[in-house]
Structure 1
Amino acid sequence: MKISQTSIAARVEIDAKPATSTRGALASLSLSMLLSSLGISIANVGLPTLAASFSASFQDVQWVVLAYLLAITALIVSVGRLGDLIGRRRLLLIGISLFTLASILCAVAPNLGLLIAARALQGSGAAIMMALAMALVGAAVAKDKMGSAMGMLGTMSAIGTSLGPTLGGMLIASVGWQGIFLVNVPLGILAIVLAWRFLPVDRRQAKTDRTGFDPLGTLVLVLTLLAYALAMTLGRGSFGPVNTALLLVAVGGVCLFVFIENTTSSPLVKLAMFQNPLLSGGFAMSALVTTVVMATMVVGPFYLSGALALNTASVGLVMSIGPLVAALTGVPAGRMVDKLGAHRSSISGLIAMAVGSMILPVVPISVGVLGYIVPLAVITAGYALFQAANNTAVMTSIQPEQRGVVSGLLGLSRNLGLITGASVMGAVFALGAAGSHILQATPEAIASGMRMTFAVAAAPIVAAIAIGVISQIVSRRRGQ
């Protein structure tokens, strides 16, 4: 009796996945995404309180947020690759444990310096959680349900972002600033239990199949990403000599990294994978689109308060609509991807984002807050659909042993887009408002800055649509 290779492969795959609950596995991955995104948004609301508690300036206390973001940006690719080598479930458990322990250290930090160090450690755990949560989806759900699973992860990330300010404010008012870090502890323990119980056990690789880690490439990439992130964030909008020097260091670092990856026997990132048009196109589109998402976060508060004269509470309420829409549309968007296909859904999401970005600049101030909310909802819903589709397209076009590093690269492309968008779109907004003193600008000037920002923001979305169409055509011609 002959057994086909396909049957053997199928049996091996079944054996590699012990009897686990798909729902339990998705719950553990979703909670990982929720915690890592909550770690970003919940700290922002606590900055004034932290500044008062430690008698620190805003420039100093903002490093509580920056240290977390920089750690994620610098490490997300490296930890993804490490998960491919030592086991994704194992490393995810380490990441959640590190995040939970760091949350405790943040809460008991006696001074600002130790708090910032603990936040960097917490960001390191979050980088592992972000990279490996997406990579483990392929082992937890069937391929035809990937879109729904990606939509669920996007939903949980959006819930974490939207929940942070409200939950943080309640915790600070009731138990003090320590509460915004201690809230992660019971959730982290629950995530550890769910991951241990429901995620498929890592398969052991044969010694002949194992490849080594790339310490030199990893070090160069981490330093390069740190240099770029600092170049885009230092100076709070002004691009001085230090920013220029850091940017040059980053450019040099990219060149050195490419050289190392082309010459080492065990590269951190196999550059040949970028010959896959779906993969390289997915990374490029993600980076372009998230620059526009950041524009809504940078411009929104100034436009709502300065041009529409909303009070602080109303600004916060309107700003929470974006994450709320993303949370509500994430799962339906994932189901649409499963039904219509990743490419069609991705282009549809990008078109929706382009339409919303083109509507915003032409809406007069007299329309009021509704003229901002409706286009914002269109942009956010389009992004939720694009993200679910793009993540699905990328993660289903690769080999299983590449899921960790590719998931890390997807996370990196989003982070780089957000960091770049904060700098570039902030500069465009200041230019459109006819000056850098935004707080003293007239409502008309602020509205002008908003119009210019979103007029510019439409360009990267159109570029992303073009990349998506071209990559799909090239892929079909190659038979991929």
Structure 2
Amino acid sequence: MRSPGRTAALLGILFGLAATGTSAATVTLPQLAGELGISASTAAWTISAYAVVLAVATPLHGRLADAYGLRAPLVSGVLAMVVGAIASALAPTFALLIVARVLQGFGGASIPVLATALVSAMWEGPQRGAALGRLAGVSATFSALGPLMGGALEDLGGWRLALALPALGLLIVPYLVRVAPSGGSRQHIDRTGAVLVAVAASGLVLLLQSPSSGPVTAIVGAVLLAAGAPAVVAWVRRRPTGFLPRTVVTNPVVLRSSFATAAIPASWFALLVGVPIVAAGWGWTPLATGLLMLPAAAVGLVTPLFSRRALARLGAQRAMAVACPIAVLALLVAAAGDLADAPALLALGVALVTVAFGFGQPAMMSAVDEAVAAADRGVAIGVATLVFLVGASVGAALVGGLAEVAGLFTVFFVLMALPVAGLAVLLLAGRRQPAAA
């Protein structure tokens, strides 16, 4: 029997390496723009292209796992991320860099959904909760270390070395080949449904990215969403067992859990993007900004010890309800740090949101896993992860689009409405359940 701790830690490192595709790359954008001769806004597409594909491809990877087992989609996804990271580091032009980042994002999208599905397939009960908590904690730690690692690598070898960081995932591939199960239902993949979901999801994410990416992105996103969303609804009605099974997309637990906890990555990414902006305004170097995030990395390592117990004692829904007010507190503390020019408060805000992530993400995945049939586990986790990552796009987009106009203090306060709404959804659902029983 494989050790839940070891496996979850390695999967958490993979999850974290996928996240460093954003967090470590962000601090390199000024140098990247200067070397390639592009504007800062154009350079930001290095992050946006990766984030869009990372979110959009998650349901596809989940459905591939249902059909063909976890081993092939997960291993090939990690290899695609590695190749994309290396190609990004070697790209001679910005156009080729974007192509490489799209490949990297497509491969990286396999990790959040399939790593969680692998834990769910290998263990049950308290062991599953412990493994999910370890996975979330290690991944949060790596994400918090992303700016530090990116800044250090930029100092050593420039932006290219920082973009190559996710290629370290290659070292974990042999272990995945040994532990990930093959098999699957061998059912035919609904390609039409997959394309329609990709169109609608791309439109939504691009629309969310448009405050920081410009009006063209907003127009493209709006068109894709307007065309894709009704088509997805019609296709699900026509093919209720297709790419998006009706039993999954109408499951109240899947919908409630994913939408309520999407507020947590929104808060998390807002701070991961916003805190470096504040520090840069103080004249801090990327390396110094990374050091500011070190307390959050330490917190990410110890959070699983508490989240595992919380998940076992409280259950998934109550554990998610605990995570939402922690996210509110994190944003409140960070807003105070921005207002008072207090680095310690900013560091505390990032640490608190890391705790919220460590509680909320494994609780959401546990709730979704228990709410669907085993044959639909991959696609259900994929849908939940898509919503989760859309939440991250909301946080990053609000910081990128509103910070220059209203200030980060205001953005952090606006974002507090999301975890408050998530908590309200969970509490209202909790009140209805006893009555139904």
Answer yes or no: same fold by TM over 0.5.
Answer: yes
1:202 alignment partner, one of 178, 182, 199: 182
Cα-to-partner distance string for 1:54-83 (whole Å, 9 max, x where unaligned): 233323332222222121112111111111
Structure 2: distance between partners of 1:372 and 1:173 = 24
2:423 alignment partner, one of 465, 469, 472: 465
- Do residues 414 (structure 1) and 388 (structure 2) align? yes
- Do residues 219 (structure 1) and 177 (structure 2) align? no
2:242 alignment partner, one of 252, 267, 291: 267
Structure 1: distance between partners of 2:170 and 2:317 = 38
What corresponds to 2:37 in structure 1?
A: 55
Contact map agreement 2:69 2:183 (CA 8 A) in 1: yes
Distance 1:229 1:478, change over 3 A: same
Distance 1:476 1:84, change over 3 A: farther
Deviation at 1:146, TM superposition (A): 2.1
What is the 5 A alignment of 1:113-262?
A: 113-185=95-167, 187-199=168-180, 201-203=181-183, 205=185, 211-234=187-210, 236=212, 240=215, 243-244=218-219, 246-262=221-237
Q: TM-score, normalising length from structure 2?
A: 0.88
What corresponds to 2:67 in structure 1?
A: 85
Structure 2: distance between partners of 1:459 and 1:353 = 10
Contact map agreement 2:145 2:293 (CA 8 A) in 1: no
Distance 1:455 1:276, change over 3 A: same
Contact map agreement 1:261 1:271 (CA 8 A) in 2: yes
The residue identity in structure 1 corresponding to 2:418 is: P
Aligned Cα RMSD in Å? 2.9
3-state DSSP class of the match of 1:211?
Answer: coil
Structure 2: distance between partners of 1:128 and 1:473 = 36
Q: Report the structure number with the largest CA radius of gyration.
A: 1
Contact map agreement 1:289 1:464 (CA 8 A) in 2: no
3-state DSSP class of the match of 1:202?
Answer: coil
Distance 1:287 1:251, change over 3 A: farther
3-state DSSP class of the match of 2:233?
Answer: helix
Structure 1: distance between partners of 2:154 and 2:268 = 28
Q: TM-score, normalising length from structure 1?
A: 0.81
Structure 2: distance between partners of 1:196 and 1:39 = 23
Cα-to-partner distance string for 1:78-118 (whole Å, 9 max, x where unaligned): 11111111111221111122222223323333322222211
What corresponds to 1:5 in structure 2?
A: none
3-state DSSP class of the match of 2:256?
Answer: helix
Structure 1: distance between partners of 2:138 and 2:340 = 35
Distance 1:153 1:404, change over 3 A: same
Deviation at 1:341, TM superposition (A): 2.2
The residue identity in structure 2 corresponding to 1:112 is: F
- Aligned residue pairs total 436
Distance 1:122 1:270, change over 3 A: same
Deviation at 1:320, TM superposition (A): 4.8
Structure 1: distance between partners of 2:209 and 2:41 = 11
Deviation at 1:362, TM superposition (A): 6.6
State, as a whole percentage, how many aligned pairs show the same letter: 25
Contact map agreement 1:290 1:421 (CA 8 A) in 2: yes
3-state DSSP class of the match of 1:135?
Answer: helix
Distance 1:371 1:127, change over 3 A: closer
What corresponds to 2:309 in structure 1?
A: 335
Contact map agreement 2:17 2:143 (CA 8 A) in 1: no
Structure 1: distance between partners of 2:319 and 2:379 = 24
Cα-to-partner distance string for 1:265-297 (whole Å, 9 max, x where unaligned): 641112333443321111111223333333324
Contact map agreement 2:331 2:412 (CA 8 A) in 1: yes
The residue identity in structure 2 corresponding to 1:246 is: G
